[in-house]
Structure 1
Amino acid sequence: MLEKNNNPHQFLLFIFSICQASRRLWTCLCGNSLYFFNNAKDSHYVEKMDLGGFVSLKDDSSRDRNLEAARLILRMKDGETRLTAPNLEARELWKGFLYSVIDLNVPTSLTLLPGQLQMLKEVVDKERSRRRTRNPARAPPSPLSVPLVGEIPACFRPVSRTEAEVLLERHPDCGNMLLRPGRDGCSLAVTTRQDLNGSVFRHYRVTQRDQGGYIIDVENPIPCATLHDVIDALVEKTAGTLQPFLLEEPYEENITYVSANDENGEKILHTAPTSPLPKAPALPPKQDRWCTSPLSRSPAPDRRILTSSVPASPTNPMRRLIHSPSPLTQTLNEELKMTLEKRRVSQD
């Protein structure tokens, strides 16, 4: 039985899934967990959600049949849950409760009345006290205490028995068998789900042998060398009816960041722009210093380079062509010699 008087606030819950229709449940927050009930008068819950796998919480702008209702999207590591509050004020208060027990701090970014903020402060103090006095022996075993050897299969999930059943029922298209830590913290277990006029769950213990390897503890124990062989053996024994549970972790679709308002210090969540940054203008192509026009790219030939590149063979016709003086050049040279000779004689 669950005592619901720890938190008087409840609201209708709708769980949306690709594979299942929405479910109408009541929920209440006790400690660091959400408990779900078929109606407000039930004393026994039908599902439980541990907020230790919290990822994000944001408003849902989609409309409900009740025009005054307001929705939330609670994203956990294993999927999303959509919550419906009676109105906007109740949604804001529920966001305050959830953030308070998750972060153990009263959120400052919400629009709440002074009395509501005082209520959240009391919730934080209660939750801190509860965690300090909680009996460690009753806490679920840590997955780190499980002596795993070798490569871990992708269908391994660090969840409890109840959480494994919820995962398999909520995502039937992702597989119907997962590997998880055992209750004693020293063994493992395989949880399976099949349909037979409803969900049928089975749990199999997997223990590690002292000499190495693992054993599926059934009436006729099945030895396996590795954890992958454990999964393969169950698939083979059921002729492929059981398939490993492979759930892709959700990723954010937009880049977000938190910044503080300079005036009041309030923190605001921003979404980065999705349009690409403008590119810098491209520089014009570098012109070659030898180019005489935009269409000309080849440098003019250098006479010195051309001359030096001719072989020094006396029989080479190119050498004779370059070094043989023209008649005009010979005449000019003779006149220059005569002028210099006259100048030298007059000076003597």
Structure 2
Amino acid sequence: MALRTARQRSQLPSCYYEGYLEKRSFKDKASRKLWTSLCGNTLFFFNDMRDTDYIEKVDLSGFISVTDDGSQDCNLDAARFILQIKDINFKFTASSAETRELWKGYIQSVAELSVPSSLNLLPGQIHRLKEAVEKEKERKIDVSQPAVLNNCAYISVQADMPPCYHRVSRLEAELLLVKEAKRGNLLLRPGSNGTSFAVSTRQDLEGSVFRHYRVTRKHEGGFAIDVDNPVPCPTLHDVVNYLVEKTDGVLIPLIIEEAYDKNITFIKTDNDNGETSVQCASSNLILPSLPTKPEEDKDKETEDAPAVPVAQAETKKTKKAVMPPTPVPRKLTFSTSPPSSTTTTTTTTEAVSISELKLKLQQKARGFPRCPSGATALRKRQEGKPPAEARE
């Protein structure tokens, strides 16, 4: 079993035929229904037709034969056939007898590069087998000569091709020119031998008139339109331009531009009624917010930060001193109103107590006789009477 890991499905060789087949080898115990694609000379098997990775492949390079399964225990209603390869045999079961004949025809035609005459198929089906044989011949030539094409600067890159280049066969080119008649009537395509190119044209003259011109590569470089008098052209672009100019613009290159959707739509199912409808996605894009960095990352960034000069670092580290708040001076308020009686009495009492204390200290120090209390003397002064010491 080969897991497909290197190539995408679009990178596989050209697919000639595909469909579901029940596959069983003589080593397998049970058959499996797989989506089978004949791409080039290889059968690729997928679990489902939508899968992009193949689970198995069978190379037809060792092809020996493909025949109907005539075993006695075979179900007569089953369309079975046996593919015999050099090393192993495979049993397949198709969905119908007609499908079995098509599988047998494509496998044998691609493996032997010729259409067998013993198949029971319609003329149109035989014609498709012939086209598959021609494609396989061209593919094998391209695969067998990659080095020669590169060494001689052979044009093989799609980007170097004129826009009217289409990788189609002669018959496909004619059908394409008829289908896309409104877009152009000239196209460039690969040649039948795989080493040259061809120009196919279509014009109307009581019906479609097709012309095919071979374009060969010259040994000294460049290309040439292979007619009675070969026309040399430096590049394939010049080949196309020459044919357009010489026909006064009657021949128009067929350029098919792929259409792309302008709106993003999706199919949505209503959970209430189960109806499905096509919805258009909103064009208002909201950019996702960046996640916050954890503390470890911040510390790491700080460590990894470039060194700062000492003077600059000290400047950054220096901070202004925090000064205490300036005290607001208290305002003195002088009242013009007369003091109340309570204030006056309190002030007088304090003054008398101080005077008595002074007198007591003086008398004690000098041995003077005790004088009347300060309160009595003060009262007598207020009444206009001299103290007792003054009267004596």
- The interval holding the TM-score normalised by the smaller chain is 0.3 to 0.5
Report which structure shows greater RCO (CA 8 Å, sep ≥6). Answer: 1
For normalisation by structure 1, the TM-score amounts to 0.36
